[in-house]
Structure 1
Amino acid sequence: MSEQRTRPVVYAVWLIVAAVIGWFAAFQLTMDKFIQLANPDADLSCNVSVMIQCGKNLGSWQGEVFGFPNPIIGIAGWMAPLFMGVALLAGARFPRWFWLTFGAGITFAFGLVCWLIWQSLYAPNLGVLCPWCMLTWSVTIPTFFATMLHLTRNGSFTSNEKTQARANRLMAWVPLATVLAYAVVILLAQLRGLDLLGEVIGMVF
């Protein structure tokens, strides 16, 4: 399904929606980081419970994996999908190298999110889920799936028309793939919660 013949409206709209949601989550985390820096004992609005909070994440080394607060990456990074979505709706066309660069950025974001999910659940110094982080995860995962399929159907990954057509059909399955990915994360969180509960019971008895 050549991009020259078809304007990917649904994909473009999703990029815009995901960018707005992701940017909002990154902005909220950045504001909470400012509050935490000004007052380390502040009760952040995202601190819902012992297990659901962002304060612990923001104060950890994982929250500044590149030497600065992770939300800054989101504030800057989500501008790319927003630009792409608006440009595609306007009928813009991009060369293959541009699409591959965009795909590399989305892949990096997906990889970072997967790593942060693992760290949030299993790192000894964390073991909590951050509400704003989870909101970011929820839009990064389907954006990665949709982008990989779009780069296949628009010819960036392959010139094989059958493969492009197959990728175009698979776009309809992105929501299901996303739900399954969410289910895996929820399952991991539940299993981790049971492990922590078992450790607490073991210490008590």
Structure 2
Amino acid sequence: MTNTEIAPSKSTGFALFSILLGAVGLFAAFELATEYIKTLKNSDYVPNCEVSVLVTCGPNMDSWQGSLFGFSNTILGLVALVAPIAVGVALLAGARFAAWFWWIYRAGLLLGVIFIFWLAYQSIFGLGTLCPWCMVVWTVMIPLFFGTAFRPEAKGYVPASPAVQRAFTSLNSWAWVLVLLAYILIAAVAQFQLNWFAEFGR
């Protein structure tokens, strides 16, 4: 087996991880898209994610940030979150991806995680709201990225020298720490800016 091949028996956990997170994110994006369509059809409709003035998705959906590319961001979620599910299913079926595929896939995840950090910033500082379904997407995109970022070199899916492979193996073992730090960062910034603990404590 070459360095560009994947050993399916060693990819089961990662495959299930990708499928599960992709499915959760896709469900959240679908819910957000459904609620957005309902508000377009009926201006008096109250979205199911409208919990309070602070915890709501209405302002996010109606803002320019919610349609950054001229159409609802929910469409991006519905399209993009199919990818990790497809990758996971393919790995379970024994697929072996070439190195270029992992570079493209990781680039897509990188763009996705940058986008959700930007959306989190805009939501907290620009709109002053926390969108429940949006936060579900943020929650799955972060581990999808960090859980994949270092894995190809660490597992030999992408050809690398022994030194590089050791370095990526070490980084891959810290992926969960990076995920936790990202969660803490967003939660802390939201708390300092919006005091969301007090909101949920009511």
TM-score category, normalised to shorter length: 0.7 to 0.9
Give 1:160 deviation, angstroms. 1.8
Indicate conservation of the 8 Å contact 1:103/1:151, yes or no: no
Indicate conservation of the 8 Å contact 1:26/1:132, yes or no: yes
Gap runs ≥5 in structure 1: 198-205
Gap runs ≥5 in structure 2: none
CA distance in 2, matches of 1:148, 1:61: 30
**Residues 1:10 and 1:3: Cα distance change in structure 2 (over 3 Å):** farther
**Which secondary structure does the structure 2 equivalent of 1:47 belong to?**
coil
Indicate conservation of the 8 Å contact 2:6/2:96, yes or no: no
Indicate the RMSD between aligned Cα atoms, in angstroms.
Answer: 2.1
Residue 95 of structure 2 aligns with an amino acid whose one-letter code is A
CA distance in 2, matches of 1:186, 1:99: 30
- Where does 1:28-67 land on structure 2 (aligned, <5 Å)? 28-67=31-70
CA distance in 2, matches of 1:65, 1:154: 37
Indicate conservation of the 8 Å contact 2:98/2:158, yes or no: no
- Structure 1 runs (4+) deviating above 6 angstroms are none
Aligned residues: 193
CA distance in 2, matches of 1:5, 1:24: 29
- Where does 1:59-98 land on structure 2 (aligned, <5 Å)? 59-98=62-101
TM-score (normalizing by structure 1): 0.86
**Residues 1:10 and 1:102: Cα distance change in structure 2 (over 3 Å):** same
Q: How many percent of aligned residue pairs carry the same amino acid?
A: 38
Give 1:3 deviation, angstroms. 6.0
Deviates more, 1:137-146 or 1:36-45: 36-45
Structure 1 residue aligned with 2:178: 177
Q: Which of 25, 28, 41 does residue 28 from structure 2 map onto?
A: 25
Residue 149 of structure 1 aligns with an amino acid whose one-letter code is F
Structure 1 residue aligned with 2:152: 151
Deviates more, 1:107-116 or 1:145-154: 145-154
Give 1:5 deviation, angstroms. 6.1
**Which secondary structure does the structure 1 equivalent of 2:174 belong to?**
helix
Give 1:150 deviation, angstroms. 1.3
TM-score (normalizing by structure 2): 0.88
Give 1:138 deviation, angstroms. 0.4
CA distance in 1, matches of 2:71, 2:93: 35
